[in-house]
Every structure is written in C-alpha cells, then in structure tokens.
Structure 1
C-alpha cells in the first residue's frame, strides 16, 4: 500500500484537471518513478505474511504545540520542537512524535510487531493505511516511518487511546523547556570551523541544537548515534566538537586525555577554575576568545539570552590528549 499512494494521487489529480478523461496522457513525477522502481526491485520476491498481532513492544506517544513525548514500559523520552516544527499542524506533529518514539525505543530491534498507542485519529489512519492521497505532507511523514520500519523488518499498528488515559506521554510532551541546552551561536561556531576545521561529531547535543549530523545526546534522542558522551571512545572521530555543561568541563578534559582524542572544546573563560591550567596544557593551537554578548548563546532557537551574558566570555580551543 505504501508504494501506491503517489500513483493514486497523480491519477486523481490528472482526472480532476481533465474532466475525468481517461484517455488523457500524463507524465510521471519523481516520486511516482521512485515507487515504481521499488516495485521493479521487490515484486518478484516480496511476501505478505499473516500477522499474528503478537506485539513485542507497546509505545505510547503524544504531541503538543511545544514538544513531543513517548513512553514504553517504565521508560520515557521527550523533546521540544525546532523553530520550523512549531509551525506544523498538530496532525503532522503527532506523526512525528510516533516516529520519534519508534526511533528511541526500537532502533536496535528487528523482525517484530509493534503496537503504537496514539490519541490522534488522523495520525492513526496515515500509519495503518501506510500513507494517504489527500495530504501530501502527512503522507511523506508516514512513508518515512514505514521505510524506516521496512529497513528493520518491523511491522507497526496504531490504535486509539483517549487523551485522559495517555497520561505519561501527554505529560512528557508538555514539559517546560529546561535551561541546560544552551548552544553556541552559529556565527561563532562557523568562525571556529573556519580556524580549527570541520568536526565530525557533536558530543553534547540534542536533535534541535546539534552542530554536526552525527551527535551524542545526554538523554535518549531520536537522532542521536549514542547516549552519554562519556560512554563512547572520542578517539574514534578525527575531530570532535564539545560544548559540555559547565559542571562537566573537568570530566571532559579528563576524557580527552584518557582517549588520547583531538577535538574542539568550548568552555567559559574562567581563569580561577581548577581545570583552566589543564585546558591550556592540552591546547595545540591558539584559542579563540568570544567576548560577552546577548547573542553568544541561544536556547532551542528561543529569543532568550543566557542569564550571565553580560559578563561571560567563552573560549574555544583545539585540544589533543595524545601528548599528555
């Protein structure tokens, strides 16, 4: 069903625009061609096994105007929307929330059936019908979900749950924005890259503020390649980027030494801190100093200045633990 919707929509629009003339010729668009290529590659070997409705996983998801939430068993995950996503219709957000729940709880699973519990009937319909013809933006999200599942041989089915019964996921989706995910302004980050080079991974990030395509999050995150930067080996990356919470600067420097890694580390310019001499010792290039500014840091694309912006300087350094 997933690979028929584009053709069905093209047929519907062509007939509508040509007075239901079935003799009219039309041109296939790129989406239709991609779907036909899928059929060409898969039709001979494809099967449709009888489903047992034996679900190995049950995931509850919900979306609000500010964020998304999901729960599975005793585990919960949540996050906030990007600035662009805040403009999306709630039906789109509910589908995306379901996708994020799958990514957080099922990304390492294969060959099982999963039950999704959602309180939005439109999202349920687009999942169970494997897309739709009427709303292309919803179809594209549903298609991305199913293709992600297809690559893992996962079969999903969505059922309705009343909002008042979807307590945990609803609570997670409405969490207030915390003040722990401050990120360096992109203008300043680009200056760092122009001097030190392009990093391959962001070690302290989330889906909405990562500076690299690959990133490690502090909590479960739908796009992260790992959780908790201190559990991965930093020397596996030719150049990492790290803007750690201020309370973890010393631990970050110790990790650079332990892994004999090379990367860019951004810290506050606090000369009296016990980690400051260690930072200077690890430098392999002159650091960059950023003067206090209300635009130096941002929080999840909000127009909010850091409470210390009037007096806080930041320092970015290219560090290496190979010679420590």
Structure 2
C-alpha cells in the first residue's frame, strides 16, 4: 500500500520556496519562511524524518527573528536546504507503508574519551579508528558519538556492500540527530554531512540505539593507543620537501596528521588511499616516512623505492644498526640532515604520554597563576617560564610522566562529567573519581597512581591536596581492601640457586651463558637492581687484586644523582663475581677504556655461527 502527497500541496510549497529563492541575501518576512517550514513538516507522514532534518537550518534562522513581523536574511545553509526541497520534493511525494527490503550491511560505531572506532559486521576490511585532539576530547559525549559516526561512515563507505545500512550506536541522541537534525548548529552540520554522504552514495541509512554492553568491540577499538602518531610540523616538512621533494605519499599517517592529500593509514580513515602501506607497491613514488622504523627498511629495498625517512638519532635503539653500522650509514642512504631540536618542530601523538607530548606542569602552572603572572614585570615573568622545568627535577622523569598521565586522566573525567578542573580539587570530587577508577580497574595500583598523581600536582603548585582529607584517605583504604588479591611472594635468590644455575650453564660456556652468569653474580654480590646493572659502562669498573670498584651513576635511592662507588671482593670460588666478570669481558672483547655498557644485547649471525655485541642497549 502506498500513500501520496497531493500534487496541489507539492506545487504550493514549491511556489513559496521559489518566491524565497528570488530574494537570496535580501530580507524576507519571517512568517513566509515559517510557512514553508510548516508545509514541509506537515508532509512528515509521507516524506519521513528528512522533513525535519532538512529544515533545521531554516528553523535556526527563524529563531533569530524578534517577532513574526520581522524580516531576516537567510543563511547559506538555509538557502541550500530551500534549494534541496525545490529540486527534490517530487522524489518524496509517496511512501510504501510496508517495507519489504531489509538491511544487509550492519555497522557499529562508538566514541570514548580518547578516540572513536567503527566496523562493518562480516566484511573483511580494517576497522576505522582514530583519536581526539585535546580540544575535541573536551566536547560533549553527544558531539563525540555523532562525529564518530560521521568519520566511520566516511572511512568505510567504499566498503559498504549494500545500499541499505543498519547502523548501531549506544547514544540515543545520535539516533535522533542523524534522523531529525538538531537546533544546535555544530551538531546539525555533522548530521547534514552524513545526509549528504547518503545522497552521494545512494545509501539508505537506518540508525538504531543499543545498550553499551552490546557495543563492546567498537568501545575497545576506540581506546586503542597509537604511540607512533608523532610527526614533524608542517614547516619542517615543507623545508625538507623543498630539498628532497616533491613527495607523493605520506606512508604512515592519519586523517589528522597527514602531510599531503595522498596518504596511507594504519586503520580505515577518511581519505586514506590505502590501509596498511605494506600491502601496496612503493616503487615509482617518493614516500614521506615517519614510521615504526624497523619495519620499513626491507620494503624500501625490495620495492627499489625512494623516500625520506625521519628517525630519532638514537644509537642505542634496536633499529639503529639497520641504518647505521660502525658510525657509517648504509649504502642505500644517499643523503641526510639534522632536523631542528626544538619541540615546536614536531607534533605529538594524540595519545596522552606519547612521544613529544607534554612532560611538565607548564599548562597547569600558567592557568593557576595567570592573574599573578599578568601583573609581573616582563623581565621577571620570563623567570616564571622556568619554574615548571625546575619542578620536573624534583622527581625522576618516569615518575613525572606517570603522575602527569594520572592528572590528565582526572581532567578528562572531570570535563566529561561537567566538574570543575580548577585547583585545588574538592575532596568530594577526588573521592568520587577514586571510586570511578576503582570500578574500572582490576588492581589497586591504578587507584594508588590516581591518588598520588593528584597529590603530586597539588603539592608541586603549593596547594593543600585533597588526598590529605579523611574522606579521600578512607576511600583509598576501602579500595585497597576491595581490590585486594592473594600475594604470592617471590622466593629469594640463594647461593644454592646460583650454584645450580652455574652447573647448568657452565657446560655450554658460550658468550650468552657467561653474560647471564656474570649479571646474576654481580647483582647478587652488589645488591644491584636491574636498572643499575644495565647502565654499568666498562669505564665504570676498576679491577684490583682482591676486589673491584664499580661506579653506579644513578640509582633509585640516589635522588640527587651524585653517583656512588661500591666494592665487590674476590671469593676465589666457582661463584666468584669478579672472576666471572673478567671471563665475560675477555670473551666479549670489550676494551678497558670503552664507554659502552658491558651488558648489551647480541646480534646472532647464523652464517658464521656466532654472536656479535650490539653497540649499546
């Protein structure tokens, strides 16, 4: 059964629209505009929800009028919607009451506080994933869920196998906005973009709400980290492109950090030419490569491809010997240059704590003391810029990074829940956040990190920390009991264990085995942690007749990094740490005046059946 809009009504509304279109960019009576909107929405039973979606911009203009007798100038978006109805209203003049066709393509999308994701069910294609910028993460959950639907749609639209698509989201507002539009312009513009894509690709989209528990895959994908999302600034790229370009393809990019229109991405992204650049031939193009470095050397050689490779100068990294051996670059590298070292020359990964990300309290410090800083003389204000840098020296870099991440997580939670982020944090808000972390964690360590992250920021900036409040302390103790697990203590290392290890390893007597024995005996005799052991250089060891001196440059207990010498004596037994170390250094052929670390990895050379020492850890 089919229902129709009478032809007389169609002609009447087209005539009214035609009259308004003749007055483009001129004042028109708001009552005439409202009449057109009312006539279109009156056809909703036949036309469907599009009658509301494609009149929202016109309604926004109507609300700007002071009275029904006022005149308004229609915005460009309102004019475009009038043109849409003038050209397409005949296409919506009938509707079949019983829809026989069913959707054969099913899509799920979701957005978290860090990113978005979506995927097509039962279709062999890479899902769409991405991360929010710091500004986007502060926007409402409705905006993020709606933007996620748009980005996933743009990324996967070429993979849709049927014009009828069933779209699942766990945000009810998104269902209404995509279907009917919204009076908020920033949400309406996204809904119109999705509608334009449906028209362009002839897609019939049906959006349906599902509970969050039924959308776990998309939620998991939206939280995937991307630690390789760093890059260089646009200025640095243009300077390099002017020397070695033109570059044709950005091989490791995303829609938000691409350096040119042609790019390859890890996941499906809007505008991506290919997903996973290792599945395409690089030959014949000049590639821009800011990659997971160890994986690109082989494709460049096999494809006989050309490109610019951006790498940190990091001789101790595992990838460095692939491009530089004995301080000489491999023959495939034709030219090289140093890039600027200032932080502005690079773009940080959008994931918190990624390479080139924030590592101090600069932003928080400037926000907290903004009023006092503005009153200072310019020469004194310059000194204030160094305060966050000095504060970072109060703790180890790893501790600063951990606490900065914990405090940033608090800020995101507060913003999402419309709670003030200003310092000092309310003890009640702090307690609520600890409970939230506890409910999402399986271990007590996450709650402890959160607790001390807030204490770190408050104490560093001179505030009384909410963690001193009795309520917060008791919440912490309660979380400790709730998340408590049975502790299985490790057995201490004993002489008998070392003897069994020695008897087992000494029979093979290769360099890897002697290295392991030497590390264990030296750590046991000197009470050394692994971090202290691995950072011992050959020049830090002085051999004497009855003992050795070992200089420990930095230690967990040496907060001021003064360094310390320790003495380890000769025992004249098979477990003598000094004798074992001498044997290891002799087998590894490490010079006595070398500054290289003594305990390093190996390169296994199967052609000569042996091992070679790496340049450093």
Structure 1 length-normalised TM: 0.77
Contact 2:349 2:356 in 1 (8 A): no
Partner residue of 1:162? 211
Instruction: Pick the structure with more strand per residue.
Output: 1
Deviation (angstroms), 1:264? 3.2
Deviation (angstroms), 1:104? 3.7
Partner residue of 1:314? none
Partner residue of 2:134? 83
- Distance (whole Å) between structure 1 residues aligned to residue 83 and residue 345 of structure 2: 48
- Distance (whole Å) between structure 2 residues aligned to residue 299 and residue 292 of structure 1: 14
Structure 2's unaligned 5+ residue stretches are: 1-49, 358-617
Structure 1's unaligned 5+ residue stretches are: 308-324
- Distance (whole Å) between structure 1 residues aligned to residue 196 and residue 246 of structure 2: 31
- Distance (whole Å) between structure 1 residues aligned to residue 162 and residue 92 of structure 2: 15
Is residue 250 of structure 1 aligned with residue 250 of structure 2? Answer: no
Contact 1:81 1:208 in 2 (8 A): no
Structure-2 change in CA distance of 1:13 and 1:251 (3 Å):
same
Is residue 25 of structure 1 aligned with residue 71 of structure 2? Answer: yes
Structure 2 length-normalised TM: 0.43
Deviations 1:17-63 (A, max 9, x none): 2x333xx3221221122223334444456776645451111112111
Structure-2 change in CA distance of 1:37 and 1:234 (3 Å):
farther
User: RMSD value over aligned CA atoms?
Assistant: 3.1
Q: What SS is found at the alignment partner of 1:55?
A: coil
Partner residue of 1:150? 199
Deviations 1:45-91 (A, max 9, x none): 67766454511111121111111122332574432113332232211
- Distance (whole Å) between structure 1 residues aligned to residue 143 and residue 164 of structure 2: 23
Contact 1:179 1:299 in 2 (8 A): no
Higher relative contact order (CA 8 A, sep 6+): 1
Match of 1:265 among 304, 309, 314: 309
Is residue 232 of structure 1 aligned with residue 283 of structure 2? Answer: no
Deviation (angstroms), 1:232? 3.0
State how 1:190-205 maps to structure 2 within 5 Å: 190-205=238-253
Instruction: Pick the structure with more helix per residue.
Output: 2
Partner residue of 1:62? 110
- Distance (whole Å) between structure 2 residues aligned to residue 168 and residue 81 of structure 1: 19
The alignment of Structure 1 onto Structure 2 pairs a total of residues equal to 291
Deviations 1:270-316 (A, max 9, x none): 67436842432xx3xx5322266666654324564469xxxxxxxxx
- Distance (whole Å) between structure 1 residues aligned to residue 111 and residue 201 of structure 2: 25
- Distance (whole Å) between structure 2 residues aligned to residue 297 and residue 113 of structure 1: 43
Match of 1:37 among 83, 95, 118: 83
Partner residue of 1:9? 60
Partner residue of 1:183? 231
Deviations 1:178-216 (A, max 9, x none): 323332244432321333345343111122322223311
Deviations 1:222-267 (A, max 9, x none): 3412112233344565x4322232112312422551xxx5543334
Deviations 1:138-165 (A, max 9, x none): 1100111111121110011111111122
